[in-house]
Structure 1
Amino acid sequence: MQKEEEQQRIALDNLIQRVTELKNSVGALIFKLEHEYETLKWPSVLDNYSLLSSQLQSLGKLLKGDKMPQLKNKILLPIFISPEPDESLAKLTENRVMMFNHEVAPSFLRTKPPPDVEEKTGLLTGKAQQLPQDQTQKQLNNLNKVTSNLLDIINSTRDDWDNDPNLKANQSQTTSMADTNALIGSMVNGKLFQSSRPGRLPESPQPGMAQNNRQSTAMTKAPSAIKTTIKTSVNAHPYQRN
């Protein structure tokens, strides 16, 4: 019994993590649509939709996995209902549910859609059922025909590409082994990177400094015209005390 509860806890934690990632992706897409609609590009929207699609597929695989317990066989019932605000519940739901009272509990524990959603679904289902059978069958046949034609075109084009040697030979090369090897060498061995030693950068000479440097150099190299005569005493000692 304890092992089953531990497995169920791990499965629920993984499920919560995947659902949280999906919720964040949906929130990011809604934020872009509401605040960046003037500069939003279609490829960016497609990237968001592809991310949502992959997350939904991952969530579906997790629910169908062997390690996921049969959640539909579990019974969920409230243990504590209170009209007082619950800080832990508010933090857990990101301030969407402040309290778990008698008004909120039926909405979170129901197994059917909300009444307005169920009503709209019923109207659409009834409208679809009122269509004549021959008209419905005709539309289905047209849809199947269009889909089959598209699949035939795609398959035939793929076969032509795979079997045509001239097409492969005429394709422009999009890779370069030299560039690939240079990139690998730069990442692995640091090739093509200039080594720089830490220290002060050389200052660029200002306009007046170059002339002053030349003058100071000339003055240093000029011979001195003053002759000095230094007389030293033989008995003198530099450290001799009087």
Structure 2
Amino acid sequence: MQQREEKQLEASVESLISRVAHVKNSLHSFIYKLENEYERLTWPSVLDNFALLSGQLNTINKLLRNEKTPSLRNQVIIPLLLSPDRDEDLAKLTEQRVPVFSHEIVPDHLRTKPDPEVEEQEKQLSTEAARIGPEVAQKQIQTLNKLCSNLLEKLNNPRDDRDAESAAIRQNKPSFNPADTNALVGAVAFGKGLSKCRPPGPVAPGHPGQGAMISGGPTLQQVTIGGGSGQQAGMGGPVAPQQQGQPGKMPSSIKTNIKSASGSMHPYNR
């Protein structure tokens, strides 16, 4: 009886080792693709790798739940020899991952319970779950189910329906301000709201009858005629009245200024 149980245990362990090796190879291949072939890796290929890993893990779970597989919970592993020295056989079996079977490594590799940090987090979650009453928990479950149902309904709707809803929303939303449009049309067509003040410009002194000069044009108030004497003829200033009986005769003051100009001929002197 004992020999038969030992044979069953040995066969189940060998089968588990084989299944775990398949999972390890699949993980190694998937990680290699993610690190080296990510540029040409497609989403369907990623889903296929996840499906392969999920199927292999389900196979291991079925093997553990099989009636012919002895309960591994009843099996206890006790380290018979701990040494700080390197063990080549152990390194070969573990693919150089565990070269030494020492007091530091044994608690991690032979652990049958989660880490203390994980246990503390589980205790906190259990305490919070126990503090929430069944009625509050039921309401939260119903709210979550409602949100999930609405989300699934939106995802399952045809794309045409979503496009139609988006177009209707865009049509109902105004894209302009009517008041601004009316103000702009009134300003362009009728000058409504525009300022009526005239732009400022220089005015020649001593000419009450002259209007304001055009802004931006030449003023022509003073023009330098002679470079040597430094005299200036006021073209925009008052002009002496012509002598009677001599129509079209140039005033003597302008003639004097023109004669004093050095090296230049004025059209009036011709």
TM-score in terms of structure 1 length: 0.55
Distance (whole Å) between structure 2 residues aligned to residue 29 and residue 127 of structure 1:
38
Cα distance 1:133–1:7, how it changes in 2: closer, same or farther (>3 A)? closer
Determine what percentage of the aligned residue pairs are the same residue. Answer: 50
Aligned counterparts, 1:100-119, within 5 A: 100-119=101-120
Deviation at 1:28, TM superposition (A): 2.1
Task: Provide, for residues 74-96 of structure 1, a one-character-per-residue CA deviation record: whole Å limited to 9, x for no partner.
Answer: 11111211111011111111111
Q: Give the structure, 1 or 2, with the largest relative contact order (CA under 8 Å, sep 6 or more).
A: 1
The alpha-carbon deviation at position 97 of structure 1 amounts to: 0.5
Distance 2:70 2:86 in 1: 33
* 1:33 alignment counterpart: 34
Cα deviation for residue 114 of structure 1 reads 1.8
Instruction: Give distance in 2, aligned partners of 1:38 and 1:131.
Output: 48
Deviation at 1:117, TM superposition (A): 3.0
In structure 2, distance between residues paired with 1:82 and 1:37: 43
Is the deviation greater in 39-48 or in 118-127?
A: 118-127
In 1, the alpha carbon distance for the partners of 2:32 and 2:131 equals 40
Moved more, 14-23 or 30-39: 30-39
Mapped to 1, the partners of 2:52 and 2:113 lie a distance apart of 29
Structure 1's unaligned 5+ residue stretches are 152-242
CA 1:138–1:29: 2 relative to 1, 3 Å: farther
Amino acid at match of 2:39: E
Q: CA 1:38–1:132 in 2, change beyond 3 Å: closer, same or farther?
A: farther
Distance 1:62 1:85, change over 3 A: same
Residue in 2 aligned with 1:9? 10
Letter in 2 for 1:9: E
Structure 1 residue 31, shift from structure 2 partner: 2.4
Q: Which residue of 1 aligns with 2:220?
A: none
Cα deviation, residue 145, structure 1: 5.3
How far did residue 13 of structure 1 move? 0.1
Corresponding residue SS for 1:53? helix
Amino acid at match of 2:80: I
Shift of 1:131: 5.7
Distance 2:48 2:147 in 1: 28
- Match of 1:19, as an amino acid? V
Tell me the number of residue pairs that the alignment of Structure 1 and Structure 2 aligns: 152
Distance 1:37 1:125 in 2: 40
Supply the distance in 1 between the matched residues of 2:145 and 2:4 (Cα, whole angstroms). 50
How many angstroms does 1:149 deviate by?
9.1
Q: What per-residue deviation string (whole Å, max 9, x for no partner) do you get for residues 161-210 of structure 1? A: xxxxxxxxxxxxxxxxxxxxxxxxxxxxxxxxxxxxxxxxxxxxxxxxxx
**Secondary structure, counterpart of 2:117 in structure 1:** helix
Partner of 1:73: 74
Alignment of 1:157-236 (within 5 A): none
Q: 1:30 to 1:66 in 2, by over 3 A?
A: same
Answering whether residue 46 of structure 2 is matched by residue 48 of structure 1, we say no
Distance in 1 between residues matched to 2:75 and 2:127, nearest whole Å: 33
User: If you compute each CA radius of gyration, which structure gives the higher value, 1 or 2?
Assistant: 2
Give 1:90's aligned residue: 91
Rounded Cα–Cα distance in structure 1 between residues aligned with 2:130 and 2:105? 35
C-alpha separation in 2, matches of 1:150 and 1:58:
33
Provide TM-score, normalisation by structure 2: 0.49
Alpha-carbon deviation of 1:127? 5.3
SS at match of 1:37: coil
